[in-house]
Each structure stands twice: as structure tokens, then as C-alpha cells.
Structure 1
Amino acid sequence: MLTPTAPTTVRALIAPDKFKGSLTAAEVADALAAGLRSAGSGSGSVHCELLPLADGGDGSVDAAVASGFTRRSYTVAGPTGQPIRSSIAFDGFTAVVEVANTCGLGLLPDGTLDPLGASSRGFGEAVLFALSLKPARIVLALGGSASTDGGMGMLTALGYSFRDADGRQLYGNGRALAQIHTVHRTALPELADTELIVASDVHNPLLGTQGAPAVFGPQKGASPQDIAILEQGLEHFVAKLAEAGFADATVLVGHEGAGSAGGLGYACQLLGAKQVSGADYFLDLLDFNTRKDSCDVVITGEGSLDEQTLAGKLPAAVARRSGARPIIAVAGRSLLPKARWPEMAVTRVYALADYTNQDSAKDPGLSATLLRRIGRDIGASLL
């Protein structure tokens, strides 16, 4: 007589990045998990552990909250000065503060780009709020900025005063950079006692052909004339900081990452921040290694799998850390032929574009439906 086979339980760690413009990382993970669970049968089931991820861009606060941090809300000035309700993540030791949910492109009124008028002030206000909680460390997630002000806006919120030739206080934005006549700093003791970490995988310098205005300005609506104004304004900004006694003001211009988030990387380095790989830092912060060790398979993904993914974006970092267990990637679209999957150690790629003729990139409902279908197909393949 045959002994009945015990049902199989497969443990899956679902650790995706966001599908930009469509779904947050948490929404991607939820949809995949729903599909995986629906694939269960008498022969087995899939146990899902969800770990929405971020790499220092938009969604960093949400990812930290999903992993156990507490959300703390606060009102800040949006990219064009309008008050917005934002939030940081805090676990009693580390605070995560994000550009995208304070002064990001997605917060511009009516989506109207404002390359010269947008400011990073709201990000500085969020950092100030984080400092009031007395963290040992603040993680500065710089992706998604609407401004190219070199961090002037952030610095005004943190005690820096920028005045024009008539002594009037300047509101930090790209247009105001060229108007700076004097710079004065009021020391914040809290900053001296707090470790600052910039989590970013952007390596551009502040100025030049690979700098913030030239490379990222067009994404923020900057015309060629605007780019020239911003480049000259940032040069003036640096010169005035050096004139005011900031010894590192000039040398930091060429540092890797100084051009991230419209030059916010430069201002953060001026404050003594250390830049680290956004993908790897967040994987450590969210305890990825411990979580994947208890799972049989890892499912990761992002909106588009392409050459940039192979260059070290989040799914590649996840795959690199996942060891010998099967790694499955899910994407809105995949530009990587099967022959190149081994380059990021994935065993299978599922793309929403293979399940529909419609464009799901701007359709959250369709994206979620397709992810559930893909989750069900992955589940069936595992059992």
C-alpha cells in the first residue's frame, strides 16, 4: 500500500522594488503573494514572506516602515513651497528621510515642472524633524528630486542664511543661486552628534557635462537656457560657500554623488554625510540576509529589467545576495534576453508585457491583476 505523500510547503521571500509610475514595492509584493497563495492545492502550498524594498529613491520610507520602522508624520514645504504632509521612518536608532516624499517630482502641483523655482527646503525640514527625535543615524534617501538647487533649500532649513546684495533673505531654489551675496551658518549641535548616510547609487559630480544640471536637469523640465543658468548658479553657490570659510566647498564639487538629487548630494557631503550604495545599504537596513536564509526561493523585480539592472540596481543586488536558491525576477517589461539571465543569477523572468497587449506602466489596476496571474503561475511551477 502506498503511503500518502505529505503536502509540500515552499517558503518564498518576495522582495521587489517599486514598479515606477504604477505600483509601490508593497503593492507589487501584495499582488504577487495573492497569486502565489492561490496556487496552493492538496499537494502543497506557498508560504510568502513579504519584504518590499527601496534603494534610496522614492519608496524608501515606506520600505523601512514595512520592515518594522515606525512612521512619523510631519508637515513640510513641498517643492514649490506648498505645505504637504510627509513622513519619515524611525526605529529608535535610525531615521530614514526621503526626498521623493518631501520635495520630489511627484509632489509638483498639477505635475507642472519648475526647474528654476523648485526647492529642496522641505527635505531640510524633514531632516530637522528627524533630528528632534535624537537619532544616532539619519539615512538620506535622495532619489526623485524636483529641484536643482545644490541643496541650498535644505541648508536654509538647517540654519544656513543666504542673503542677496541688499541683505534680503533668499529662498533656496535654482533661480536664487546666482543672487547669493553672503552666507552665514548657525551651528546645529544635533548635526554634529548624528551620523549622516547618503543612500544613493548616483555617482555624478555636481558640475560639468556629467553634472546635475546637464544630466538630470532635462528630466526636471530644464531647457538648454535653464541648464546654463543652473550651472552658473551652482558655480556661484560653491564660490560663495568657499568665500564664507567652508574649506571643502570646492573639492567636494568633483566627488562622486555630489550631483545626485539636483546637487543635494553635494550639500549632504558638505554636512559630513558619507555616501554608500543605496541598494546594498537598504538590503542591510531591512535585514535581507537573515530573511532570505529561511526561504527556499527569492522573488524580486522592478518596472524594467535592462542594462541598468545589470549595472547594480536593486534586483541585481538581491540576486547577488540570494546564494544558491532559485531566484525569480518579475518586471513590467524585460529587455534582457534569456541568454543574459545568468548575468544576474536569475533562473526565470516574468514580464507583464508578455501577459497583455496593453500598456500597464500607467495602469495600477491592470498591473496588479497581471502580477496576481504571474504569482499564480510561479506558484504552480514551484509545487
Structure 2
Amino acid sequence: MLFIVAPDSFKGSLSAVEATHYMERGIKAVFPQAVVKKVPLADGGEGTVEAIINAAGGRLLEAEVTGPLGRPVKAVYGVLSDGITGVLEVASVCGLPQVPPERRNPESTTSLGVGELILAAVAEGCRRVIVGLGGSATNDGGIGMAAALGIRFPDGTGRPLEPRVSNLAQATGIDYSGLDQRLAGVEVTGIYDVSSPLYGPRGASVVFGPQKGATPEQVQRLDTLLRRLAELIRQTYGIKVDDLPGAGAAGGLGAGLAAFLGGRLVPGSDMLLELCKLDEFITENEVDLVITGEGEINHQTVLGKVPVSVARLAKKHNLPVVALVGSIGPGYTEVYQHGINAVYGIIPRPMELSEAMQNAAVLLEEATVRLMRLWRLGCD
């Protein structure tokens, strides 16, 4: 039998690479002779760098940059085997887990370190940079990143404002004359995990602001400020980023990449699937079952998350798809309209979140065993 295991990371507990390992162990416990094709994936969030390096080859590096609260953090980035393509993830620089729950306030967090890490990749010789947009603690539209690259946001007197999202209300323009010259000719691609627009009912602030600590009043303020950023971008660069798919990813960083660096925005999971050549593998082999997964499956999964991207590809080949997940959230049944046949929670009994995350490896392996025993019933 041939199985494909193609999960995302289980945020905060297992990387996608680790998840494929424990899924394989569970399969082999029931079908010792089975062949397991392991395809660790990411959609732009946590684990993107590791997944791309795993798929395309390369090396990992580390740089000290500014974290979401303004303090130095160590961030990992990769350089692919071609020597000129760098890959980084926002989650490593200004990810939500880096901000304690009591300090989460998207009006004060910054994406400054993202710009610093882009420059680190360019200094390493990269002429193409892939930026994973997901898992951020920020909602600044990428103005922190822009400031690190030399872009300024002046007020009515021409005085540069601090690159904080709250200052966009006073900004009268965007001054890109100081953009770091090393960025000339560098091709930037942002890979997003959700196709949200920059602002509005489905935008960055309304949908994701609350999980970053925003109060209802802050959500409305932030939405208005990102709308103002879109106006400034339109006035300065002559481009419209408002409804650009992925513009709202990482608190509006998608829009920032598109405007400040002329970046292209693409769905992250689709790019990973292409790098892994999974479509070709399925075409050339007789696959029995595809297993995907993520930490929580919910209504946001259909916006471009890994499980649905995997399912869409599998359905091209009429393959059954099961998602193994840490938790099942509101609106998860929407995934059944996008190619996933069944959703299977890995937690077998009531337990604290901390216990579940600490034992995620065992829980995932045991859940895979239970799934395989059910699968064997259909084979007998």
C-alpha cells in the first residue's frame, strides 16, 4: 500500500517534518510493509523555511533582528541550493508566540525585524527572497519592515514619523527615496496562508486582530488605519492593494511587500506543493490514501491553508483525504466542500491544552494507528 502524509505544522508543538515522522510510525504499526511518501508542508506560517529547505535543498542561517516588542530575537532563514534564493518566515521574526498573552497589543507590535531579515538574506547574496506571511503578532501593514529598508512616512511638516501603525493617521505620504540600494533588482515573493484583503469585514484587523490581542475598539481603529495605508500606497505608487489576495496576510504585511518592494503574492501551500512535485508523484504512482493535518481545523482552513490545498490536488486524482488535527474549531465542516472526506481529532480524552501540546507526538502517532485500523477494515 502507498500512503501520502502531507501535513502542516501543529503550531507550538510539532513541525511539519516531525508530524510526518509520527504519522509514518502510526501507519507502519498497522501496515509494516506500506510505503509512506512524506511531504512536510507549510502555507507561509510557522515551519515554512524548514518545509521549503526540505523540498528544495539548501542551508539554514540565523540572524539577530528586532522582535515584535522591539527587543532583539534570533530568527532563522534559509538560502536554497541555488545560492541566490533566500527564504524567511514572519513567524520566526514577529510571531504571535513571541508575545506573552498579557502583552498582546497589535497597535504596539512591529514588523521592523522582517525588513532586517530581508537585508540579511540580501547581504548573503540572495537576489530572490521568499517571505512566508503567516503567524504574526503584528497588524502594521508592513510599515515597520519598510522603515528597516529605508522608507519613511512623513507628517504634514515633512518630519518622519515613528513607524507605528497608529501614526498612519498623521502620515501625509510615503518617502521611498532612502530605500536601501542593495534591494535594486531583488525579486520578492510573499507566500500567504490566507487570501484576506487588507481591510474590511474579511480584512486583517477584523478577522485576525482579536487573536493578536485587539479589543473591539482597536479592531475598528486598525481597520481604518490600514484603509489609510492603502490610500497612501495608491497616491505614492499608483497601485491598488486593497483587495489584492493575500494583502491582509500577516497583519497587512502582504500589502506592504507588494507596494514597498514590488512583491508578488502567491498562496503558500500551492508553492510548496509545486516545489515538492506532489502532482507528478501521484500521477506516476498508485496512491491509496492521502493524510493531511494541522493544529486546528476551522472555517479559516478553506481560505488557503495546507489541508484544503492538499485535498484539492488529491481530488484531481480521485483520492480519498483524511485530516488529522489537534482540535476541531467552528465552521470546520466547510472543508468537506473542498475535498476533505473526513476530519479526525487526535485527542482521545479531555485534557489541558498544555498537556496536549506536550504530548502531541504520541497523540498524533496513536491517532494515526486508530485511523489505520479503521482503514484496514475497509481493505479486509
When normalised by structure 2's length, the TM-score is 0.83
Flag the structure with larger Rg: 1
Question: Any gaps of 5 or more consecutive residues in structure 2?
Answer: none
Paired amino acid for 1:58: E
How far off its partner does 1:121 sit? 0.6
What corresponds to 2:17 in structure 1?
Answer: 26
The 3-state SS of whatever aligns with 2:118 is helix
Which residue is 1:257 aligned to? 246
Who is 1:118 aligned against? Answer: 109
Residue 4 of structure 1 aligns with which residue?
Answer: none
How far does the alpha carbon of each residue in 1:302-350 deviate from its partner, in whole angstroms, 9 at most, with x for none?
234455445653222212223245543322245799x998745456543
2:198, 2:227 within 8 Å by CA — same for their partners in 1? Answer: no
Once residues 307 and 232 of structure 1 are traced to their aligned partners in structure 2, the CA distance between those partners, rounded to angstroms, is 25
Mapped contact 1:341–1:348 kept (Cα < 8 A): no
Structure 1's unaligned 5+ residue stretches are: 1-9
Q: Deviations over 1:242-279 (max 9, x none)?
A: 66x4333xx32343332222221211111211222222
Identity %: 33
Query: Is 1:63 the equivalent of 2:51?
Result: yes
Specify whether residues 183 and 30 from structure 1 end up closer, same or farther in structure 2 by C-alpha distance, changes over 3 A only. same
- Structure 1 window deviating more from structure 2 (231-240 vs 109-118): it is 231-240
When structure 1 is superposed on structure 2, of 163-172 and 136-145 the one drifting more is 163-172
1:200 paired with 2:188, answer: no
Matched, 1:331 2:325: yes
Task: Please identify, of 205-214 and 71-80, the stretch whose mean Cα deviation from structure 2 is larger.
Answer: 205-214
Query: Contact 2:73–2:93 (CA<8 Å) still a contact in 1?
Result: yes
The answer to whether 1:351 aligns with 2:327 is: no
The one-letter code sitting in structure 2 at the alignment partner of 1:278 is G
The TM-score normalised by the length of structure 1 is 0.82
Taking only aligned residues, the RMSD between alpha carbons, in angstroms, comes to: 3.3
Deviations 1:87-136 (A, max 9, x none): 11221343222111101211115662022110111111111112223334
* Alpha-carbon distance in 1 for matches of 2:280, 2:62: 29
Residue 75 (structure 1) shift: 0.9
Change (3 A) 1:62 1:362: farther
In structure 2, the CA distance between the partners of 1:225 and 1:360, relative to structure 1 (3 Å rule), is: closer
| Structure 1 residue 212 corresponds to structure 2 residue 204 | yes
Mapped to 1, the partners of 2:141 and 2:273 lie a distance apart of 28
Aligned match of 1:48: 36
**Residues in 2 aligned to 1:378 and 1:236: alpha-carbon distance in whole angstroms:** 50
Contact 1:16 1:53 in 2 (8 A): yes
**In the alignment, is the contact (CA less than 8 A) between 2:116 and 2:145 conserved in 1?**
yes
2:301 and 2:335 in contact (8 A); partners too? no
Aligned counterparts of 1:115 and 1:307: Cα–Cα separation in 2: 23
Q: Going by fraction, where is helix more abundant, 1 or 2?
A: 2
- CA change 1:37–1:99 in 2 (3 A) is same
Change (3 A) 1:291 1:171: farther
- 1:90 matched to 2:50? The reply is no
Matches within 5 A, 1:131-142: 131-142=122-133
Q: Is 2:359 aligned against 1:366?
A: yes
Does structure 2 retain, via aligned residues, the 8 Å contact 1:105–1:111?
no
Residue 163 of structure 1: CA displacement?
4.4
Amino acid at match of 1:368: A
1:3 aligned residue: none
TM superposition shift of 1:240: 5.0
Which of the numbers 265, 272, 276 marks the counterpart of 1:282? 272
Contact 1:207 1:213 in 2 (8 A): yes
CA contact (8 A) 1:332 1:360 kept: no
SS, match of residue 162 in structure 1: coil
Please say if 1:154 is aligned against 2:142: no
